[in-house]
Structure 1
Amino acid sequence: MRTNILITGASSGLGAEMARQFAAKGHHLALTARRLERLEALREEILAAHPDIEVVVYQLDVNDHDQVFATVTQAIGDLGGLDRVIVNAGLGKGGRIGTGKFHANKETAETNFIAAMAQCEAAMEHFYERKAGHLVVISSVSAMRGMPSSMAAYAATKAGIAHLAEGIRMDLVGRSGLDITVTTIYPGYIASEMNEKVEQEQKLMVDTETGVRAMVKAIDKEVDNAAVPAWPWLPLGQVLKHAPRGIARKLI
Protein backbone atom coordinates (compact mmCIF):
# COMPACT_ATOMS: atom_id res chain seq x y z
CA MET A 1 0.00 0.00 0.00
CA ARG A 2 1.42 3.37 -1.04
CA THR A 3 1.67 5.90 1.79
CA ASN A 4 2.87 9.46 2.36
CA ILE A 5 5.91 9.54 4.65
CA LEU A 6 7.63 12.55 6.20
CA ILE A 7 11.24 12.09 7.36
CA THR A 8 13.15 14.76 9.26
CA GLY A 9 16.93 14.95 9.12
CA ALA A 10 16.83 13.37 5.67
CA SER A 11 19.81 15.05 4.01
CA SER A 12 22.32 12.36 5.00
CA GLY A 13 22.95 9.18 6.96
CA LEU A 14 20.03 7.12 8.22
CA GLY A 15 17.42 9.64 7.10
CA ALA A 16 18.63 9.76 3.51
CA GLU A 17 18.89 5.98 3.30
CA MET A 18 15.40 5.54 4.76
CA ALA A 19 14.16 7.87 2.03
CA ARG A 20 15.84 5.73 -0.65
CA GLN A 21 14.46 2.48 0.72
CA PHE A 22 10.91 3.75 1.27
CA ALA A 23 10.97 5.23 -2.24
CA ALA A 24 11.93 1.82 -3.60
CA LYS A 25 8.77 0.50 -1.95
CA GLY A 26 6.71 3.05 -3.88
CA HIS A 27 5.92 5.53 -1.10
CA HIS A 28 5.58 9.28 -1.56
CA LEU A 29 8.04 11.32 0.51
CA ALA A 30 8.29 14.63 2.30
CA LEU A 31 11.91 15.20 3.30
CA THR A 32 13.25 17.90 5.62
CA ALA A 33 16.71 19.03 6.72
CA ARG A 34 18.75 22.18 7.18
CA ARG A 35 20.85 21.51 4.05
CA LEU A 36 18.43 22.16 1.22
CA GLU A 37 20.97 21.52 -1.53
CA ARG A 38 21.53 17.99 -0.24
CA LEU A 39 17.79 17.38 -0.09
CA GLU A 40 17.36 18.57 -3.65
CA ALA A 41 20.17 16.28 -4.83
CA LEU A 42 18.58 13.36 -2.98
CA ARG A 43 15.21 14.20 -4.51
CA GLU A 44 16.69 14.13 -8.02
CA GLU A 45 18.45 10.82 -7.28
CA ILE A 46 15.26 9.22 -5.98
CA LEU A 47 13.05 10.49 -8.80
CA ALA A 48 15.54 9.29 -11.40
CA ALA A 49 15.23 5.80 -9.96
CA HIS A 50 11.51 5.96 -9.14
CA PRO A 51 9.75 8.48 -11.42
CA ASP A 52 6.28 7.27 -10.42
CA ILE A 53 6.44 8.62 -6.88
CA GLU A 54 6.23 12.14 -5.49
CA VAL A 55 9.03 13.69 -3.45
CA VAL A 56 8.78 17.14 -1.84
CA VAL A 57 11.61 18.73 0.14
CA TYR A 58 11.67 21.49 2.75
CA GLN A 59 14.51 23.32 4.42
CA LEU A 60 13.95 22.98 8.15
CA ASP A 61 15.92 23.51 11.33
CA VAL A 62 13.91 21.48 13.84
CA ASN A 63 14.98 23.85 16.62
CA ASP A 64 12.74 26.46 14.97
CA HIS A 65 9.61 25.03 16.52
CA ASP A 66 7.16 27.31 14.75
CA GLN A 67 8.71 26.21 11.48
CA VAL A 68 8.31 22.55 12.46
CA PHE A 69 4.55 23.02 12.68
CA ALA A 70 4.45 25.12 9.50
CA THR A 71 6.47 22.56 7.55
CA VAL A 72 4.33 19.64 8.66
CA THR A 73 1.24 21.62 7.67
CA GLN A 74 2.76 22.40 4.27
CA ALA A 75 3.65 18.74 3.68
CA ILE A 76 0.11 17.72 4.59
CA GLY A 77 -1.19 20.11 1.98
CA ASP A 78 1.35 19.23 -0.69
CA LEU A 79 0.87 15.46 -0.38
CA GLY A 80 -2.78 15.44 0.64
CA GLY A 81 -2.08 14.17 4.15
CA LEU A 82 0.62 12.22 5.96
CA ASP A 83 0.36 8.56 6.87
CA ARG A 84 3.69 8.26 8.68
CA VAL A 85 6.05 10.76 10.32
CA ILE A 86 9.58 9.63 11.19
CA VAL A 87 11.22 11.79 13.87
CA ASN A 88 14.84 11.28 12.88
CA ALA A 89 16.69 14.62 13.03
CA GLY A 90 19.31 14.66 15.74
CA LEU A 91 22.77 15.63 16.97
CA GLY A 92 25.56 13.54 18.45
CA LYS A 93 27.84 16.25 19.84
CA GLY A 94 28.67 16.61 23.53
CA GLY A 95 31.24 16.15 26.26
CA ARG A 96 31.70 14.54 29.63
CA ILE A 97 29.62 16.32 32.25
CA GLY A 98 31.83 18.64 34.28
CA THR A 99 34.35 19.43 31.54
CA GLY A 100 32.95 22.72 30.31
CA LYS A 101 30.97 21.27 27.40
CA PHE A 102 27.58 22.46 28.66
CA HIS A 103 26.66 24.37 25.51
CA ALA A 104 27.37 21.37 23.26
CA ASN A 105 25.33 19.13 25.56
CA LYS A 106 22.55 21.72 25.68
CA GLU A 107 22.43 21.88 21.88
CA THR A 108 22.14 18.10 21.70
CA ALA A 109 19.39 18.10 24.33
CA GLU A 110 17.42 20.81 22.56
CA THR A 111 17.68 19.11 19.18
CA ASN A 112 17.19 15.51 20.25
CA PHE A 113 14.43 16.03 22.80
CA ILE A 114 12.71 19.43 22.69
CA ALA A 115 12.69 19.57 18.89
CA ALA A 116 11.65 15.91 18.74
CA MET A 117 8.73 16.72 21.03
CA ALA A 118 7.66 19.49 18.65
CA GLN A 119 7.76 17.05 15.75
CA CYS A 120 5.70 14.51 17.71
CA GLU A 121 3.17 17.20 18.61
CA ALA A 122 2.77 18.33 15.01
CA ALA A 123 2.44 14.75 13.76
CA MET A 124 -0.03 13.65 16.42
CA GLU A 125 -2.25 16.69 15.91
CA HIS A 126 -2.63 15.58 12.29
CA PHE A 127 -3.11 11.93 13.17
CA TYR A 128 -5.76 12.68 15.79
CA GLU A 129 -7.59 14.85 13.27
CA ARG A 130 -7.63 12.13 10.60
CA LYS A 131 -7.95 9.33 13.22
CA ALA A 132 -5.06 7.40 11.66
CA GLY A 133 -1.32 7.54 11.30
CA HIS A 134 2.02 6.08 12.29
CA LEU A 135 4.49 8.02 14.43
CA VAL A 136 8.06 6.70 14.38
CA VAL A 137 10.69 7.94 16.83
CA ILE A 138 14.35 7.13 16.19
CA SER A 139 16.01 6.57 19.56
CA SER A 140 19.27 4.61 20.09
CA VAL A 141 20.52 1.53 21.93
CA SER A 142 22.41 4.04 24.07
CA ALA A 143 19.02 4.85 25.61
CA MET A 144 19.10 1.50 27.40
CA ARG A 145 21.57 2.77 30.00
CA GLY A 146 23.20 5.97 31.15
CA MET A 147 26.33 6.41 29.06
CA PRO A 148 29.71 7.84 30.06
CA SER A 149 31.81 10.69 28.71
CA SER A 150 30.67 12.42 25.50
CA MET A 151 27.71 10.01 25.20
CA ALA A 152 26.07 11.07 28.48
CA ALA A 153 23.79 13.84 27.20
CA TYR A 154 23.09 12.08 23.90
CA ALA A 155 22.00 8.86 25.61
CA ALA A 156 19.82 10.80 28.04
CA THR A 157 18.00 12.55 25.18
CA LYS A 158 17.43 9.25 23.39
CA ALA A 159 16.02 7.72 26.57
CA GLY A 160 13.81 10.79 26.90
CA ILE A 161 12.25 10.53 23.45
CA ALA A 162 11.73 6.79 23.93
CA HIS A 163 9.75 7.53 27.09
CA LEU A 164 7.88 10.30 25.27
CA ALA A 165 6.86 7.79 22.59
CA GLU A 166 5.68 5.36 25.27
CA GLY A 167 3.64 8.14 26.85
CA ILE A 168 1.94 8.80 23.51
CA ARG A 169 1.21 5.06 23.21
CA MET A 170 -0.32 5.15 26.69
CA ASP A 171 -2.62 7.97 25.56
CA LEU A 172 -3.96 5.71 22.80
CA VAL A 173 -4.93 2.85 25.12
CA GLY A 174 -8.68 2.29 25.15
CA ARG A 175 -9.44 5.01 22.61
CA SER A 176 -11.74 3.46 20.05
CA GLY A 177 -12.02 4.70 16.50
CA LEU A 178 -8.32 5.54 16.18
CA ASP A 179 -5.94 3.69 13.89
CA ILE A 180 -2.78 5.31 15.25
CA THR A 181 0.41 3.45 16.08
CA VAL A 182 3.69 4.58 17.62
CA THR A 183 7.02 2.86 16.98
CA THR A 184 10.32 3.46 18.75
CA ILE A 185 13.42 2.31 16.88
CA TYR A 186 16.66 1.70 18.78
CA PRO A 187 19.46 1.58 16.18
CA GLY A 188 22.71 -0.05 17.18
CA TYR A 189 26.00 0.80 15.51
CA ILE A 190 25.01 1.74 11.96
CA ALA A 191 27.49 3.64 9.82
CA SER A 192 26.37 7.23 9.19
CA GLU A 193 27.73 10.72 8.81
CA MET A 194 27.08 11.33 12.51
CA ASN A 195 29.47 8.60 13.66
CA GLU A 196 31.99 8.39 10.82
CA LYS A 197 34.60 10.35 12.79
CA VAL A 198 34.16 8.39 16.01
CA GLU A 199 37.17 6.36 16.95
CA GLN A 200 35.66 3.14 18.31
CA GLU A 201 35.73 -0.59 17.85
CA GLN A 202 34.08 -1.38 14.52
CA LYS A 203 33.27 -5.07 15.02
CA LEU A 204 29.57 -4.44 15.66
CA MET A 205 29.16 -1.68 13.06
CA VAL A 206 27.06 -2.48 10.00
CA ASP A 207 26.93 -0.47 6.82
CA THR A 208 24.21 2.12 6.34
CA GLU A 209 22.16 0.19 3.79
CA THR A 210 22.08 -3.00 5.89
CA GLY A 211 21.26 -1.18 9.11
CA VAL A 212 18.53 0.92 7.55
CA ARG A 213 17.02 -2.14 5.90
CA ALA A 214 16.48 -3.54 9.40
CA MET A 215 15.00 -0.22 10.51
CA VAL A 216 12.59 -0.08 7.57
CA LYS A 217 11.49 -3.67 8.15
CA ALA A 218 10.65 -2.93 11.79
CA ILE A 219 8.90 0.33 10.88
CA ASP A 220 6.74 -1.38 8.27
CA LYS A 221 5.70 -3.96 10.86
CA GLU A 222 4.53 -1.05 13.07
CA VAL A 223 5.93 -2.72 16.19
CA ASP A 224 6.00 -0.78 19.47
CA ASN A 225 9.75 -1.12 19.97
CA ALA A 226 12.63 -2.61 17.99
CA ALA A 227 16.39 -2.77 18.51
CA VAL A 228 18.01 -2.98 15.07
CA PRO A 229 19.69 -4.89 13.62
CA ALA A 230 18.07 -7.46 15.91
CA TRP A 231 21.34 -9.35 16.14
CA PRO A 232 23.26 -8.48 18.21
CA TRP A 233 21.36 -5.46 19.51
CA LEU A 234 18.23 -7.13 20.85
CA PRO A 235 20.16 -9.27 23.37
CA LEU A 236 23.03 -6.82 23.79
CA GLY A 237 20.62 -4.00 24.54
CA GLN A 238 19.21 -6.01 27.43
CA VAL A 239 22.71 -6.76 28.70
CA LEU A 240 23.51 -3.04 28.63
CA LYS A 241 20.29 -2.32 30.50
CA HIS A 242 20.63 -4.86 33.29
CA ALA A 243 24.32 -5.77 33.67
CA PRO A 244 26.35 -4.46 36.62
CA ARG A 245 27.79 -1.05 35.89
CA GLY A 246 31.35 -2.28 35.56
CA ILE A 247 30.42 -4.88 32.97
CA ALA A 248 28.21 -2.49 31.04
CA ARG A 249 31.05 0.07 30.99
CA LYS A 250 33.35 -2.46 29.30
CA LEU A 251 30.78 -3.12 26.57
CA ILE A 252 30.52 0.50 25.50
Structure 2
Amino acid sequence: MTTRTTRTTRQKILITGASAGLGEQMARDFAAVGRDLALCARRTDRLERLREELVAAHPRVTVSVRALDVNDHDHVFEVFRAFRADLGRLDRVIVNAGLGKGQPVGTGRFDANLHTARTNFTAALAQCEAAVEIFREQNAGHLVVVSSMSAMRGMPRNLTAYAASKAGVAALAEGIRAELLRTPISVTTLFPGYIASEMSARAARTPLMVSTAKGVRAMVRAIEAERVQAKVPAWPWVPLGFALRHLPLRLVTRAG
Protein backbone atom coordinates (compact mmCIF):
# COMPACT_ATOMS: atom_id res chain seq x y z
CA MET A 1 0.00 0.00 0.00
CA THR A 2 1.39 3.40 -0.96
CA THR A 3 2.14 5.73 1.94
CA ARG A 4 2.89 9.44 1.97
CA THR A 5 5.31 10.25 4.77
CA THR A 6 5.14 13.63 6.46
CA ARG A 7 6.44 15.36 9.55
CA THR A 8 3.71 17.96 9.46
CA THR A 9 1.30 18.02 12.39
CA ARG A 10 -2.17 18.73 11.09
CA GLN A 11 -3.25 20.72 14.13
CA LYS A 12 -6.54 22.22 12.97
CA ILE A 13 -9.00 19.65 11.69
CA LEU A 14 -12.49 20.05 10.23
CA ILE A 15 -14.82 17.04 10.37
CA THR A 16 -18.23 16.97 8.69
CA GLY A 17 -20.97 14.68 9.97
CA ALA A 18 -19.42 15.00 13.43
CA SER A 19 -22.56 14.68 15.56
CA ALA A 20 -22.60 10.87 15.63
CA GLY A 21 -20.87 7.66 14.61
CA LEU A 22 -17.49 7.75 12.94
CA GLY A 23 -17.26 11.54 12.87
CA GLU A 24 -18.03 11.86 16.56
CA GLN A 25 -15.44 9.24 17.50
CA MET A 26 -12.81 10.79 15.21
CA ALA A 27 -13.35 14.07 17.05
CA ARG A 28 -12.70 12.32 20.37
CA ASP A 29 -9.56 10.62 19.10
CA PHE A 30 -8.09 13.78 17.60
CA ALA A 31 -8.95 15.87 20.68
CA ALA A 32 -7.17 13.27 22.83
CA VAL A 33 -3.90 14.07 21.04
CA GLY A 34 -4.40 17.82 21.32
CA ARG A 35 -5.81 18.79 17.93
CA ASP A 36 -8.08 21.81 17.51
CA LEU A 37 -11.38 20.91 15.90
CA ALA A 38 -14.03 22.39 13.65
CA LEU A 39 -17.12 20.17 13.87
CA CYS A 40 -20.27 20.46 11.79
CA ALA A 41 -23.49 18.53 11.29
CA ARG A 42 -27.21 19.16 11.19
CA ARG A 43 -27.82 18.22 14.83
CA THR A 44 -26.32 21.14 16.71
CA ASP A 45 -27.60 19.94 20.09
CA ARG A 46 -25.40 16.87 19.78
CA LEU A 47 -22.48 18.96 18.54
CA GLU A 48 -22.76 21.24 21.58
CA ARG A 49 -22.77 18.26 23.94
CA LEU A 50 -19.74 16.84 22.16
CA ARG A 51 -17.93 20.17 22.37
CA GLU A 52 -18.61 20.37 26.11
CA GLU A 53 -17.33 16.81 26.57
CA LEU A 54 -14.14 17.43 24.61
CA VAL A 55 -13.29 20.77 26.22
CA ALA A 56 -13.89 19.32 29.69
CA ALA A 57 -11.59 16.37 28.97
CA HIS A 58 -8.97 18.39 27.05
CA PRO A 59 -9.02 22.03 28.24
CA ARG A 60 -6.24 23.16 25.90
CA VAL A 61 -8.12 22.07 22.80
CA THR A 62 -10.18 24.56 20.80
CA VAL A 63 -13.48 23.15 19.52
CA SER A 64 -15.63 25.22 17.16
CA VAL A 65 -19.06 23.91 16.12
CA ARG A 66 -21.50 25.04 13.42
CA ALA A 67 -24.71 23.74 11.91
CA LEU A 68 -24.37 22.35 8.40
CA ASP A 69 -26.59 20.42 6.03
CA VAL A 70 -24.08 19.33 3.40
CA ASN A 71 -26.81 19.33 0.76
CA ASP A 72 -26.97 23.13 1.12
CA HIS A 73 -23.95 23.63 -1.11
CA ASP A 74 -23.59 27.40 -0.74
CA HIS A 75 -23.64 26.98 3.02
CA VAL A 76 -20.84 24.39 2.81
CA PHE A 77 -18.52 27.06 1.43
CA GLU A 78 -19.69 29.61 4.01
CA VAL A 79 -19.20 27.25 6.95
CA PHE A 80 -15.76 26.07 5.82
CA ARG A 81 -14.58 29.68 5.43
CA ALA A 82 -16.05 30.57 8.83
CA PHE A 83 -14.20 27.68 10.45
CA ARG A 84 -10.99 28.84 8.82
CA ALA A 85 -11.57 32.26 10.36
CA ASP A 86 -12.33 30.66 13.75
CA LEU A 87 -9.13 28.60 13.82
CA GLY A 88 -6.84 30.80 11.73
CA ARG A 89 -6.32 28.06 9.14
CA LEU A 90 -7.50 24.56 8.26
CA ASP A 91 -4.82 21.88 8.11
CA ARG A 92 -7.05 18.90 7.41
CA VAL A 93 -10.63 18.47 6.22
CA ILE A 94 -12.36 15.10 6.66
CA VAL A 95 -15.28 14.67 4.28
CA ASN A 96 -17.25 12.23 6.41
CA ALA A 97 -20.92 13.24 6.20
CA GLY A 98 -23.07 10.73 4.38
CA LEU A 99 -26.04 8.39 4.59
CA GLY A 100 -26.73 4.76 3.86
CA LYS A 101 -30.35 4.49 2.85
CA GLY A 102 -31.37 3.13 -0.50
CA GLN A 103 -33.76 0.74 -2.24
CA PRO A 104 -33.44 -1.71 -5.13
CA VAL A 105 -33.44 0.15 -8.43
CA GLY A 106 -36.78 0.13 -10.25
CA THR A 107 -38.94 -0.52 -7.18
CA GLY A 108 -40.49 2.93 -7.02
CA ARG A 109 -38.06 4.49 -4.51
CA PHE A 110 -36.06 6.77 -6.76
CA ASP A 111 -36.46 9.41 -4.04
CA ALA A 112 -34.38 7.39 -1.55
CA ASN A 113 -31.69 6.56 -4.09
CA LEU A 114 -31.51 10.17 -5.31
CA HIS A 115 -31.12 11.41 -1.73
CA THR A 116 -28.27 8.95 -1.20
CA ALA A 117 -26.54 9.96 -4.44
CA ARG A 118 -26.88 13.67 -3.70
CA THR A 119 -25.64 13.37 -0.12
CA ASN A 120 -22.79 10.93 -0.69
CA PHE A 121 -21.49 12.30 -3.98
CA THR A 122 -22.75 15.76 -4.92
CA ALA A 123 -22.49 17.07 -1.35
CA ALA A 124 -19.05 15.46 -1.04
CA LEU A 125 -18.02 17.30 -4.20
CA ALA A 126 -19.10 20.58 -2.61
CA GLN A 127 -17.08 19.77 0.53
CA CYS A 128 -14.01 18.87 -1.52
CA GLU A 129 -14.34 22.05 -3.58
CA ALA A 130 -14.59 24.19 -0.45
CA ALA A 131 -11.68 22.43 1.26
CA VAL A 132 -9.31 22.45 -1.69
CA GLU A 133 -10.09 26.09 -2.43
CA ILE A 134 -8.87 26.92 1.08
CA PHE A 135 -5.85 24.60 0.76
CA ARG A 136 -4.85 26.22 -2.53
CA GLU A 137 -4.95 29.63 -0.86
CA GLN A 138 -2.85 28.32 2.03
CA ASN A 139 -0.62 26.22 -0.25
CA ALA A 140 -0.99 23.42 2.29
CA GLY A 141 -3.54 20.97 3.59
CA HIS A 142 -4.75 17.40 3.82
CA LEU A 143 -8.06 16.30 2.31
CA VAL A 144 -9.55 13.06 3.66
CA VAL A 145 -12.51 11.46 1.87
CA VAL A 146 -14.45 8.66 3.54
CA SER A 147 -15.64 6.14 0.95
CA SER A 148 -16.64 2.53 1.79
CA MET A 149 -15.64 -1.05 1.10
CA SER A 150 -18.92 -1.16 -0.80
CA ALA A 151 -17.18 0.93 -3.46
CA MET A 152 -15.10 -2.07 -4.53
CA ARG A 153 -17.87 -3.44 -6.80
CA GLY A 154 -21.43 -2.82 -7.86
CA MET A 155 -23.72 -4.06 -5.09
CA PRO A 156 -27.27 -5.44 -5.23
CA ARG A 157 -30.52 -4.59 -3.45
CA ASN A 158 -30.49 -1.65 -1.02
CA LEU A 159 -26.76 -1.11 -1.54
CA THR A 160 -26.84 -0.32 -5.26
CA ALA A 161 -27.08 3.47 -5.11
CA TYR A 162 -24.98 3.64 -1.94
CA ALA A 163 -22.12 1.61 -3.41
CA ALA A 164 -22.22 3.62 -6.63
CA SER A 165 -22.09 6.91 -4.71
CA LYS A 166 -19.13 5.69 -2.65
CA ALA A 167 -17.31 4.48 -5.77
CA GLY A 168 -17.93 7.90 -7.29
CA VAL A 169 -16.52 9.73 -4.31
CA ALA A 170 -13.42 7.48 -4.33
CA ALA A 171 -12.85 8.33 -8.00
CA LEU A 172 -13.38 12.00 -7.18
CA ALA A 173 -10.71 11.85 -4.48
CA GLU A 174 -8.27 10.12 -6.83
CA GLY A 175 -8.85 12.79 -9.46
CA ILE A 176 -8.15 15.53 -6.93
CA ARG A 177 -5.02 13.65 -5.84
CA ALA A 178 -3.86 13.48 -9.47
CA GLU A 179 -4.40 17.23 -9.82
CA LEU A 180 -2.41 17.99 -6.67
CA LEU A 181 0.44 15.48 -6.91
CA ARG A 182 3.18 18.06 -7.15
CA THR A 183 1.79 20.39 -4.50
CA PRO A 184 1.95 20.53 -0.68
CA ILE A 185 -1.67 19.34 -0.56
CA SER A 186 -2.22 15.62 0.14
CA VAL A 187 -5.31 13.47 -0.33
CA THR A 188 -6.34 10.31 1.52
CA THR A 189 -9.21 7.99 0.61
CA LEU A 190 -10.54 5.71 3.35
CA PHE A 191 -12.51 2.54 2.65
CA PRO A 192 -14.09 1.52 5.97
CA GLY A 193 -15.46 -1.96 6.39
CA TYR A 194 -18.18 -2.84 8.89
CA ILE A 195 -17.74 -0.40 11.78
CA ALA A 196 -20.49 -0.01 14.36
CA SER A 197 -22.28 3.33 14.00
CA GLU A 198 -25.77 4.77 13.77
CA MET A 199 -25.66 4.18 10.02
CA SER A 200 -24.76 0.51 10.42
CA ALA A 201 -27.18 -0.14 13.29
CA ARG A 202 -29.95 -1.21 10.91
CA ALA A 203 -27.67 -3.45 8.84
CA ALA A 204 -27.64 -7.20 9.25
CA ARG A 205 -25.41 -8.34 12.12
CA THR A 206 -22.10 -9.75 10.95
CA PRO A 207 -19.06 -11.21 12.72
CA LEU A 208 -16.96 -8.80 10.63
CA MET A 209 -18.39 -5.78 12.50
CA VAL A 210 -15.93 -4.03 14.84
CA SER A 211 -16.68 -1.50 17.52
CA THR A 212 -16.77 2.19 16.72
CA ALA A 213 -13.68 2.78 18.86
CA LYS A 214 -11.63 0.04 17.20
CA GLY A 215 -12.70 0.95 13.68
CA VAL A 216 -12.07 4.65 14.15
CA ARG A 217 -8.64 4.01 15.66
CA ALA A 218 -7.72 2.31 12.40
CA MET A 219 -9.14 5.23 10.43
CA VAL A 220 -7.23 7.79 12.48
CA ARG A 221 -3.94 5.87 12.11
CA ALA A 222 -4.36 5.87 8.33
CA ILE A 223 -5.26 9.57 8.34
CA GLU A 224 -2.29 10.52 10.50
CA ALA A 225 0.05 8.53 8.25
CA GLU A 226 -1.52 10.33 5.27
CA ARG A 227 -1.98 7.07 3.43
CA VAL A 228 -3.01 7.54 -0.18
CA GLN A 229 -5.68 4.85 0.24
CA ALA A 230 -6.51 2.61 3.17
CA LYS A 231 -8.98 -0.20 3.77
CA VAL A 232 -9.82 -0.06 7.46
CA PRO A 233 -9.46 -2.01 9.61
CA ALA A 234 -6.76 -3.68 7.52
CA TRP A 235 -7.85 -7.13 8.71
CA PRO A 236 -9.95 -8.55 7.19
CA TRP A 237 -10.68 -5.80 4.67
CA VAL A 238 -7.42 -5.80 2.69
CA PRO A 239 -7.83 -9.45 1.61
CA LEU A 240 -11.60 -9.10 1.33
CA GLY A 241 -11.15 -6.02 -0.83
CA PHE A 242 -8.98 -8.04 -3.20
CA ALA A 243 -11.61 -10.77 -3.27
CA LEU A 244 -14.43 -8.30 -3.93
CA ARG A 245 -12.50 -6.88 -6.87
CA HIS A 246 -11.88 -10.26 -8.48
CA LEU A 247 -14.72 -12.62 -7.54
CA PRO A 248 -17.41 -13.36 -10.13
CA LEU A 249 -20.32 -10.95 -9.77
CA ARG A 250 -22.71 -13.76 -8.77
CA LEU A 251 -20.60 -14.37 -5.64
CA VAL A 252 -20.38 -10.66 -4.85
CA THR A 253 -24.16 -10.53 -5.16
CA ARG A 254 -24.54 -13.21 -2.51
CA ALA A 255 -22.20 -11.32 -0.19
CA GLY A 256 -24.12 -8.06 -0.69
The alignment's TM-score, normalised by the length of structure 1, stands at 0.97
Contact in 2 for aligned 1:169/1:181 (Cα 8 Å): yes
Match of 1:47 in 2: 55
* 1:69 correspondence with 2:77: yes
Q: Distance in 1 between matches of 2:129 and 2:91?
A: 15
Say whether residues 1:221 and 2:229 are aligned partners: no
Higher RCO, 1 vs 2 (CA within 8 Å, ≥6 residues apart):
2
Q: In the alignment, which of 16, 20, 33 is matched to residue 8 of structure 1?
A: 16
Q: How does 1:122-137 map to 2 (within 5 A)?
A: 122-137=130-145
Unaligned runs of 5+ in 1: none
Q: Distance in 1 between matches of 2:238 and 2:205?
A: 19
* 3-state SS, counterpart of residue 152 of structure 1: helix
Paired residue for 1:59?
67
Please report the RMSD computed on the Cα atoms of aligned residues, expressed in angstroms: 0.9
Which aligned segments of 4 or more residues in structure 1 are displaced greater than 2 angstroms? 249-252
Q: Pick one of 98, 105, 114 that aligns with 1:90.
A: 98
The corresponding residue for 1:234 is 238
Matched with 1:189 is 194
- Residue pairs, 1:53-202, within 5 angstroms: 53-173=61-181, 175=182, 178-198=183-203, 200-202=204-206
The structural deviation recorded for 1:45 is: 0.7
Task: Say if 1:32 and 1:171 are closer, same or farther in 2 by CA, change over 3 A.
Answer: same
| Native 8 Å contact 2:40 2:65 kept in 1 | yes
CA 1:188 to 1:3, structure 2 compared with 1: closer, same or farther past 3 Å?
Answer: same
Contact 1:13–1:193 under 8 Å retained in 2: yes
Q: Distance in 1 between matches of 2:221 and 2:114?
A: 33
Task: Say whether 1:210 aligns with 2:218.
Answer: no
Shift of 1:245: 1.1
Contact 1:211 1:228 in 2 (8 A): yes
How many residue pairs were aligned?
Answer: 248
- Residue deviations 1:13-48, cap 9 Å, x none? 000000000100110000000000000000001111
The amino acid of 1:214's aligned partner reads A
1:204 shift after superposition: 0.1
Identify if the C-alpha distance between structure 1 residues 114 and 68 changes in structure 2 by more than 3 Å, giving closer, same or farther: same
